[in-house]
Structure 1
Amino acid sequence: MLKELSSLLSLDNSMDSITLKDFSELVIADKKNEYALNTIETYRNAINRLPTLKDMPIKEITYAHCIKEFATLEQAKGKTLVLTATILKLIFKQAVLYKIIPSNPLADYSYKAKQKENSRLRIFTEEEMNTLLDFYKGKDPQTWIQLCFLRYCGLRLNEMNGLRWCSIQGNMLTVDRQYSNIGGKFAFRKLKTKNSYRTIPMPNTLLNAIHVYKKKYPPFISTARIVQRNIALNLNIKKVYPGHSSHDFRHTYATNLLARGVDLRTVASLLGDTITTVEKTYIHYSEEMRKNAVIKLNEIFG
């Protein structure tokens, strides 16, 4: 009780009337050099999903208010509700630091989204990848070499844009930076997590492709055109396969490794992810592939 009373007495009364929406903009302004544009938009979208709460003084919002508002999101996807609640919890945490409220009303809140059965990833078949690479090999060498790196290394697009020739040593590729947008500025930056820093072995197929490309086009990355090239790459993929994007190569890379028996720790290391992320994202799919393989074997051999 003394602790609670002490926190109440230390509150900053000058911000008593600040609304949830206004305070979230204050948090965004404070973090503008840390948050990417898509993160800022995610924060704003989350607050806009809470029409009753967003215009209330943050000091007056209770746990009951939040639960009532979340009920209106039950019809939305479970992930939308979880994301909204997570962001709201983070904003309340900042409000505690600003001494606007004594405690976080959502500190003990948790919500488990219902898992959809047979959640599917978008992946390429071997034939689709071959068709896509063959289509651009003679027509657009830059798109072709980008597709090769995505196919054989499972890179994120920002990571691929951070590569340079010195990233390649023998048959190993070092991933140690990215080219991304934070606060409206595109620049080379550190990777998002320590797991993202990694060295990836490159197959001979990729090494041969790099050799062919480098002989004709020595410049590896043109920083002035990276943003335009990202857009162009996804458009080029969709020209051939409308339902796919560059990130689907990463999904394909991971599921192929798992389907061929590569252990989880190694797959996580190659992707620059945690084992938990790989389990959540890919393991159910690899199990489905194994079940399908059993069915096929029975069809073939009886």
Structure 2
Amino acid sequence: MQVKKKLLDLVRDKIRFKHYSYSTERTYVHWIKHYIFFHNKKHPVEMGKVEIETYLTKLATKDNVSPTTQNQAFSALLFLYKEVLGVDISDWNIQALRAQERKHIPAVLTKDEVASILQNIPMEYSLLVHLMYGCGLRMNEALSLRIKDIDFGFDKVYIWDSKSLKDRTVPLPLKLKQQLISQVELVTNLHKQDLDNGYGSVFIPYALEKKYPKSKYETKWQFLFPMKNISVDPRSKEKRRHHIHPQTLGRNIKVASQKANLNKRVTSHIFRHSYATHLLQAGIDLRSIQELLGHKSVETTMIYTHVVSEMNKSKVISPLDF
């Protein structure tokens, strides 16, 4: 039991050293524990290809997990063996039964539907959701924005360490420029109050905080969309102001869609899908949209051509209407 605890501590240390998010840390630790308990608490160094294949197959056949969930578990095991145990299992040719993958065309909103939701979003989340749609940002990308990431001189928004691990810039929506300037002023004043009250630090990636220990108190590193209250950092246990909680934002988006009387399943990601689709409809080329979204492969972006194709089918009328 002691060995397992030490192992998970090593996993956490390695994840933090590599600057992975806290949500990734929790996810990886969960799957590694699940894997160990499935094999009756056997230590991973005593297990190999067969145990990994058996575990991943069980997830697909007995647990009926989605392909995404199975891949998530596999990624956790890859990290465990390669980064923590020093064993590269990529050459093992893991042959597990894969979870059945279904290709879904993403749901999108019309411009009028987007406007309707934005009108019903509470004031404190309005700018954030406008920015998600106006820049095609993932929820975590929008929530992770710092003051320094908004370039008012060149009208650009900088996205660092995104899901694809590829930094990028997107055009700053000019309609939001003055609101963003006001938001920076608001956060700057809030930060001054926090400093006066003995707080004022913010989460900084481990390597940067170690190299620049005072950076966590600098205004430019403060989150652009901070929480209302001071909270306790689950890693450092330090009291500080984090960004708006994802569940809080998701809940407000859902309520806004209900108030807008939309029957579509609206999540935070639908704004990103809508952004890409509306750009494609406006004649923006696929490669440009790929760069704006930060997709590694253009094949990922091509799903939006199918969305537009489905929309064009609505122009075809029934023979009954001839």
Partner of 2:60: 74
Partner of 2:166: 195
Aligned amino acid, residue 76 of structure 2: I
Report the CA distance between 1:194 and its aligned residue: 6.3
Alpha-carbon distance between aligned partners in 2 of 1:78 and 1:166, rounded to the nearest angstrom: 34
The 1:235–1:58 alpha-carbon spacing in structure 2 relative to 1, beyond 3 Å, is closer
The 1:164–1:59 alpha-carbon spacing in structure 2 relative to 1, beyond 3 Å, is closer
Alpha-carbon distance between aligned partners in 1 of 2:148 and 2:45, rounded to the nearest angstrom: 54
Based on CA coordinates, which of the two structures has the bigger radius of gyration? 1
Aligned amino acid, residue 279 of structure 1: E
> Which of these residues, 287, 291, 309, is aligned with residue 290 of structure 1?
309
Alpha-carbon distance between aligned partners in 1 of 2:130 and 2:249, rounded to the nearest angstrom: 12
Question: Which structure 2 residue ranges, 5 or more long, are not aligned?
Answer: 191-222, 228-241, 259-264
- CA contact 1:143–1:233 (8 Å) conserved in 2: yes
User: Is 1:279 matched up with 2:299?
Assistant: yes
The 1:151–1:68 alpha-carbon spacing in structure 2 relative to 1, beyond 3 Å, is closer
- CA contact 2:276–2:304 (8 Å) conserved in 1: no
My pick for the range that moved more, 265-274 or 25-34, is: 25-34
Partner of 1:43: 28
> Which of these residues, 9, 15, 36, is aligned with residue 31 of structure 1?
15
Question: Which structure 1 residue ranges, 5 or more long, are not aligned?
Answer: 1-16, 178-189
User: Is 1:155 matched up with 2:137?
Assistant: yes
Alpha-carbon distance between aligned partners in 2 of 1:41 and 1:78, rounded to the nearest angstrom: 19
Aligned amino acid, residue 196 of structure 1: D
Report the CA distance between 1:55 and its aligned residue: 1.0
Partner of 1:59: 45
Partner of 1:236: 252
Report the CA distance between 1:265 and its aligned residue: 1.8
Q: Deviations over 1:30-55 (max 9, x none)?
A: 33342321111111221243333361
User: Is 1:248 matched up with 2:270?
Assistant: yes
Report the CA distance between 1:253 and its aligned residue: 0.8
Alpha-carbon distance between aligned partners in 1 of 2:131 and 2:52, rounded to the nearest angstrom: 45
- CA RMSD, aligned part only? 3.7
Q: Deviations over 1:250-270 (max 9, x none)?
A: 121122223444323201221
Alpha-carbon distance between aligned partners in 2 of 1:62 and 1:241, rounded to the nearest angstrom: 48
- Matching of residues 260-271 of structure 1 within 5 Å: 260-271=282-293
User: What SS does the aligned partner of 1:132 have?
Assistant: helix
TM-score by length of 1: 0.68
Report the CA distance between 1:74 and its aligned residue: 1.8
- CA contact 2:12–2:29 (8 Å) conserved in 1: no
Report the CA distance between 1:230 and its aligned residue: 5.2
Alpha-carbon distance between aligned partners in 2 of 1:168 and 1:105, rounded to the nearest angstrom: 41
Aligned amino acid, residue 299 of structure 2: E
User: What SS does the aligned partner of 1:121 have?
Assistant: coil
> Which of these residues, 131, 155, 159, is aligned with residue 172 of structure 1?
155
The 1:72–1:238 alpha-carbon spacing in structure 2 relative to 1, beyond 3 Å, is same
Q: Tell me the number of residue pairs that the alignment of Structure 1 and Structure 2 aligns.
A: 258
> Which of these residues, 247, 258, 279, is aligned with residue 280 of structure 2?
258
Report the CA distance between 1:116 and its aligned residue: 0.8
- Matching of residues 202-213 of structure 1 within 5 Å: 202=172, 206-211=173-178, 213=179
- CA contact 2:147–2:184 (8 Å) conserved in 1: no
